[in-house]
Amino acid sequence: MFSSVWNFIKRHKRKFIFTGAVVGGVYVLGKYAQKKIKEIQEKEATEYMAQARRQFHFESNQRTCNMTVLSMLPPLREAIIAQLNSESLTDLLKTKPANKLDIWEDLKIISFTRTTVAVYSTCMLVVLLRVQLNIIGGYLYLDNSAGKSATAPLAPPDVQQQYLSSIQHLLGDGLTELMTVVKKAVQNSLGSISLKQTLSLLDLEQQLIWIRSEVEAASDHPLSWYMMADDENALANQACGLTENDVMTIRLLNETRDMLDSPDFPTVLNTCLNRGFSRLLDNLAEFFRPPPGDSTPSSTPDSLSAVRLPLAKIIPIINGQINCICSETPGHFLQDLLMNDQVKEFAANVYETFSTPQELQK
């Protein structure tokens, strides 16, 4: 019996060897496949966790952006009012001076100028802080990532403070320059209009369009010029005395300037300005409602020109809008800017750029 079995094996030796090789190969391949599948699953899980961690950090950073904007609005409002102080003129009018008409003319120009400047500067503040804090946020993410040496942070606290202090240009010299340009445009647009002349909401909209056109088209500089000082490379021109923190700050300022010079930035800023001036007109519309009992629907184009107010009555309405625009309480005006989809997308792109190691190596 054993001999017959042995003879059978000898006759079919090649088949047994081939079958064994196939079975063994399948087993080895199976083990290899299991190992590769496990490696792929572990890699996918690691990438998913890293992406989730970065998304969480990004969303947290956007909340920081929003809170920072809110904290900066009161000093922005104070800076505007300090240089365009209409309150002193209204107090003077209460004394019934002999040059009452001249004071009203000054009040007309100052009121429209400071409200227009408030819209411009608030939009600039929102977009500029989105750029700065997402550059910082991207570097902080890299600093906190696994494998990043803690001894060489990309954005140490002292550098962050020095870098973010550059926002003071928008609240200082940049704001003063912006006021000069806007005031000239307001004077050209409204200077010849009598205080007794009646205007509709559509008339006001047209005045704002003319003012914006002159400010944005006739200026010798792009709007980003009011947001960052020209001397961001001043430290680099010093022969000596540069610290490592100074070098890091210069890098951050140059990277910010690159973002402001990118094609996307003016598009996003213009979107904010369009929404900001639209919201301003919505606020003004509350004062141009048809009287009770009027049969004209308030939403029709005719209703926007049906109600007309003397310019003298419109001035106090315009003058008070700065409190709605630059309010530390997040009202409709600010929410429209912070929740804008293009602003969110732009912020995500900036963060993505500076939180990606490959971009850092470039």
The 3 state secondary structure assigned to 208-253 is HHHHHHHHHHCCCCCHHHHCCCCCCCCHHHCCCCCCHHHHHHHHHH
Residue 142 token pair: 């890299």
What's the mean pLDDT in 181-209?
A: 95
Three-state SS at 355? coil
Task: Report whether 114 contacts 84 (CB < 8 A).
Answer: yes
Closest C-alpha among 252, 216, 217 to residue 232: 252
pLDDT of 173 strictly over 60: yes
Closest C-alpha among 198, 195, 208, 180 to residue 103: 195
Task: Report whether 243 contacts 226 (CB < 8 A).
Answer: no
Q: Which of 214-223, 246-255, 322-331, 347-356 comes out lowest in average pLDDT? A: 214-223
d(CA 362, CA 353): 11
Three-class HEC string of 2-66: HHHHHHHHHHCHHHHHHHHHHHHHHHHHHHHHHHHHHHHHHHHHHHHHHHHHHHHHHHHHHHHHH
CA separation, residue 303 to residues 205, 283, 297, 310, 311 (Å) = 14, 16, 7, 17, 18
pLDDT of 14 strictly over 70: no
What's the mean pLDDT in 204-212?
A: 96
What's the mean pLDDT in 123-133?
A: 96
Q: Sorting pLDDT into bands at 50, 70 and 90, what band is 241?
A: low
Q: Sorting pLDDT into bands at 50, 70 and 90, what band is 146?
A: low
The residue type found at 256 is T
Tens digits of residue pLDDT in 42-75? 555 445 455 667 777 778 888 989 999 999 999 9
Which residues are within 8 A (CB) of 159 and not within 5 positions of it... i.e. 6 or more apart? Answer: 245, 248, 249, 252
Q: Would you call 210 exposed, middle or buried from its count of C-beta atoms within 10 A (0-12, 13-18, 19+)? A: middle
What's the mean pLDDT in 110-118?
A: 97
Tens digits of residue pLDDT in 81-108? 999 999 999 999 888 889 999 999 999 9
Side-chain-facing half-sphere of 223: CA atoms under 13 Å: 26
Listed by start position, the domains of the chain span 72-361
d(CA 27, CA 207): 81
Please say whether the dihedral angle defined by the alpha carbons of residues 121, 124, 126 and 129, taken in this order, is positive or negative. negative
Task: Report whether 171 contacts 79 (CB < 8 A).
Answer: yes
